[in-house]
Chain A
């Protein structure tokens, strides 16, 4: 009996080790001591790669790797001039920040310690950025996020950049468009539901302020998303939305299938008002409730003509995209441009990359819009525009109805 137990334990450990080896290929490339190299230039990547939200980070990583395939292979990249002199780029460090600010700070230290890492592609969440950002600021390292949209990041953090507009842009577009189209009006009742974390709470705060300024009463609620350790259940909120005669429900959750569930449960409870989600739900395979609205920083990558070849490559290598990662492709494109400019003389440094990122811009992107860090309201750390309000059609497709 004891032998059987020992054998079972050995098998379990062996299985675990094998699984870990298979699932976690060697991500860390450490090099000999010395100044940062331009051949290839090294960057770090940090995202949520394990835990309940791992799907988001994995989608981002896969889009980053698709970009590197094109960039290092010399293939055409949307928005990049044909004769642009590229420096090859390589991941030197990959960190799993787990949507945890303390872990993000540790990852930041890891990036700083590796002298071959010129810049960081990350973090994924606003909370992590607040945790890990100061570490990178002290080291004078550039970090570009493709998804951290909390309003105050551009003001609080020194070397932080992002390729997506801040939350207020989405909130403003959504509220002003619905008011203009008569979907909501002064005196109405609204319900605003966040998913109990930094991004959605900030977005919900923005929406609440705008609605209240427009004379609309707001019932503010909080419902953790299904990417936490439970399955979200909106039935109580759905019943409440009907009872308070809400004419609109705003729910900026980061989980598209939660938005789908919420809308279905609202319908089941007899709700007839409008539902508005945000960029976290931008996924036409999982959120397709006809009539619902949602904001996003850019266009649906599945519908952007210039994104087709990259999407095909992504699908071939990794299957269906979650829709969350395409901005990472764009963020890495901007970073690669800055690194290439800094490496023009064969030498580079973190300070040079930081200097060159200010002038980086692309005339078009796989998001369907040009990108530059020119939004004064965001301390010139993010783009001015790029928010679109969509309405879901009866066939589940997203139709743009307003943009900024």
Chain B
């Protein structure tokens, strides 16, 4: 059997194909990881419901897609279609994120650490089962392979590098969103307030910062990014189902920890590393080791660098 016992190098075009695929999935993990890292940076809370917000974002994008004629025969231009899908998902997930913070986490802010954690798990299950009840358990399909006869999945080559337009779209869109977040955090008043709150919540409050609003805004932004990630997942991977958030959330959490929990740049880097590690493991060893390798990376970081790649030298925290 190839793979496990016989390590095959193949060639450079194969390596680049796996690398590009890894960067694509890694971009999605990075978008999700940002939400985890932002919330942890301020509240020291692992928001286990974040993966399910991503799932709801995927469904919101799906319903907009269906309402506008579906991928096979959209009633608007593709650019307008995608813009509306992203807007709906990001706006909808923002609202959900704010509501989750308001009713599931804020009342427990002064409670022992375990209480909001359990609340987060409860919210996760609540969102999953609500999605099952509302949307059914049968997976829905974006069917974007039928969008303009599959043009989105055509590819172009530059030497040994072959890239599909869909992969390029996901990577560029993720980079744009992450850049926008970085500008928001570094160059705006609200970003300054977010950094201050994450540094010391009580002190920020005493300085006149409305920490409740800042925290709500953090959830709003993190959830919007998750919603965007959900739509991108639907566009590239087609299938969406109510339980898709759990696995993606776990990988994104791993990415956030590897990159340095509480660090935005770390979350992005961690996501890309995890995505590439997955793809290269499947490509050069075996798909059976995919999750093993990813979680082994987490364990190695926990043992030898528990603050993550960028954790100790955090330039900015949210």
Contact = CB atoms under 8 A, between A and B. Distances in A.
Interface residues of B, number: 52
Nearest to B108: A5
B155 A243 contact: no
Contact of B164 (A223, A237, A257, A268): A268
A243 B21 CA distance: 15
Interface in B27-64: none
A222 B286 CA distance: 8
Contacts of A52: 137, 241-243
Contacts, number: 127
Contact of B1 (A219, A233, A236, A268): A219
Interface in A187-228: 193, 218-223, 226-228
A171 to B, nearest CB: 18
A190 B278 CA distance: 22
Indicate the size class of the contact surface on chain A: 35 or more
Given A55-B138, A55-B139, A240-B282, A5 B107 contact: yes
A258 to B, nearest CB: 7
Interface in B122-171: 126, 129-130, 132-133, 136-139, 141, 145, 150, 153, 155, 162, 164
Contact of B238 (A53, A58, A236, A260): A260
Pick from A52, A55, A223 the residue with the most CB of B within 10 Å: A52
A252 B24 CA distance: 26
B223 interface: no
Given A260-B238, A261-B239, 13 more contacts: A19-B129, A52-B241, A54-B132, A221-B3, A222-B288, A231-B244, A233-B25, A240-B14, A242-B17, A255-B139, A255-B239, A260-B141, A322-B138
A258 B278 CA distance: 18
Contacts of A269: 17
Given A236-B21, A243-B14, A231 B239 contact: yes
Interface of A: 5, 8, 12, 16, 19, 23, 50-55, 58, 193, 218-223, 226-233, 235-237, 239-240, 242-244, 255, 257-258, 260-261, 264, 267-270, 286, 322
Contacts of B253: none
B2 interface: yes
A56 to B, nearest CB: 9
Contact of B136 (A55, A193, A228, A267): A55
A19 to B, nearest CB: 5
Given A218-B1, A226-B241, A231-B239, A240 B283 contact: yes
